[in-house]
């Protein structure tokens, strides 16, 4: 079946604008994760969804960042009033069971965000 | 929170050479350990993982990793690399029963034919 997909693949925006990043997880996967990879750094955890709820938002760097998930499937990560330090690759992953590290997280191709 | 250190930023080697990538983590409790690989133009994918049991773990494509608890290390090895092993390699850790992966900064491996 299809893997995790993300759109857009690249996004260039101006400082202060809002952006939306989309993730389509593998069909049937209940857990969904967002990570961010800034230049020269490892991936950092942003938020985790179990179904449509987000029990762990601890990684969101500021209140400009929010995410939602609808229908237990598609997720959108929104960044308001983007700043240059938001420039990064945003990765989405899904796994079959919610909250279990025993299940492999499958990653999407990422969205490269550039804030000018 | 855990932190993960990967000692080498960029490794360049010739085909048939042996590869060892270092990974150290800082967490005193029980951990789960992973190596992920990202080939050029492809998604991040799992190479191997360790939860418990035999500390020598074998993964795909001839890779293996050894968990040394006393050294807080989980080094990745391959006895003879191929040009197709050119990729970026990431070590990742979670504490027991946690789902949040903490990643190292990655090591870029370039294999010259």
B3-112 CATH fold: Immunoglobulin-like (2.60.40)
Does the beta carbon of A101 lie under 8 angstroms from any beta carbon of chain B? Answer: yes
Q: What is the 3-state secondary structure (H, E, C) of chain A?
A: CCCCEEECCEEEECCCCCEEEEEECCCCCCEEEEEEECCCCCEEEEEEEECCEEEECCCCCCCCEEEEECCCCCEEEEECCCCHHHCEEEEEEEECCCCCCCCCCEECCCEEEEEC
Written as six digits, the tokens of A35 are 């990570």
B99: nearest CB among A48, A91, A107: A48
Determine whether the interchain pair B99/A100 forms a contact, defined as Cβ–Cβ distance below 8 Å.
yes
In a domain, A102, yes or no: no
Instruction: Dump pLDDT digits (tens) for A71-97.
Output: 889 999 999 999 999 999 999 999 987
Predicted local distance difference test score (pLDDT) of residue A98: 63
- From B10, which residue of chain A is nearest by alpha-carbon distance? A40
What residues form DSSP beta bridges with A114?
Answer: A12
CA distance A46 to A54: 11
Number of domains chain A is built from: 1
Q: Is A20 on the interface with B (CB under 8 A)?
A: no
Given this model, what pLDDT does residue B84 score?
96
- Is B75 in CB contact (< 8 Å) with chain A? no
Tens-digit pLDDT profile for residues B18-32: 999 999 999 878 889
pLDDT for the residue A99: 61
Looking up residue A12, the CATH number of its domain turns out to be 2.60.40.10
- Domain locations in chain B? 3-112
Which residue is closest to B44 within chain A, CA to CA? A107
Mean pLDDT of B5-28: 94
Share of chain B above pLDDT 90, in %: 78
Cis peptide before A54 (omega within 30 of 0): no
Mean pLDDT, chain B, whole residue set = 93
Contact across the interface for B43 and A108, Cβ inside 8 Å:
yes
In a domain, A27, yes or no: yes
Listed as ranges, residues in chain A with pLDDT below 50 are: none
> Which among A42, A50, A108 is the top mutation candidate for probing chain B, defined by the most B β-carbons within 10 Å of its own β-carbon?
A42
Average pLDDT on B9-20 reads 96
B32 vs A: CB within 8 A: yes
**Residue A58: inside a domain:** yes
Residue from the list A4, A101, A107 with its beta carbon closest to the beta carbon of B99: A101
Chain B: residue nearest A101 by CA? B99
pLDDT at A81: 97
| Chain segment B62-89, per-residue pLDDT in tens | 999 999 999 999 999 999 999 999 999 9
Contact A91 B44 (CB under 8 A): yes
Say whether A35 and B101 touch across the interface (CB within 8 A): yes
Select the more confidently predicted residue: A9 or B100.
Answer: A9
B43, B45, B103 member nearest A42 (Cβ): B103
Which domain, by its residues, includes A32?
5-96
CB atoms within 10 A of CB B80: 11
- Residue B47 pLDDT level (bands cut at 50, 70, 90): very high
The answer to the question of residue A115 being in a domain is no
How many whole angstroms separate alpha carbon A20 and alpha carbon A18?
Answer: 7
């Amino acid at each position: 079946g299809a893997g995790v997909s993300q759109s857009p693949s690249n996004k260039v925006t101006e400082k202060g604008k809002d952006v939306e990043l989309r993730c389509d997880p593998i069909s049937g996967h209940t857990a969904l994760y967002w990570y961010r990879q800034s230049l020269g750094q490892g991936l950092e955890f942003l938020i985790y969804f179990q179904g449509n709820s987000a029990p762990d938002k601890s990684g969101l760097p500021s209140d400009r960042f929010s995410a939602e998930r609808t229908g237990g499937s598609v997720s959108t990560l929104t960044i308001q009033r983007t700043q240059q330090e938001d420039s990064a690759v945003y990765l989405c992953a899904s796994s079959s069971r919610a909250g279990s590290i025993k299940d492999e997280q499958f990653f999407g191709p990422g969205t490269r965000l550039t804030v000018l | 929170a855990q932190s993960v250190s990967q000692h080498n930023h960029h490794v360049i080697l010739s085909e048939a050479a042996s590869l060892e990538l270092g990974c150290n983590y800082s967490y005193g409790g029980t951990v789960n350990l992973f190596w992920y690989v990202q080939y050029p133009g492809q998604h991040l994918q799992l190479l191997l993982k360790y939860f418990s049991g035999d500390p020598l773990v074998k993964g795909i494509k001839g890779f293996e990793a050894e968990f040394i608890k006393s050294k807080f290390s989980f080094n990745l090895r391959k006895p003879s690399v191929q040009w197709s092993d050119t990729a970026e390699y990431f070590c990742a850790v979670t504490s027991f029963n946690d789902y949040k992966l903490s990643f190292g900064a990655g090591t870029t491996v370039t294999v010259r034919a």
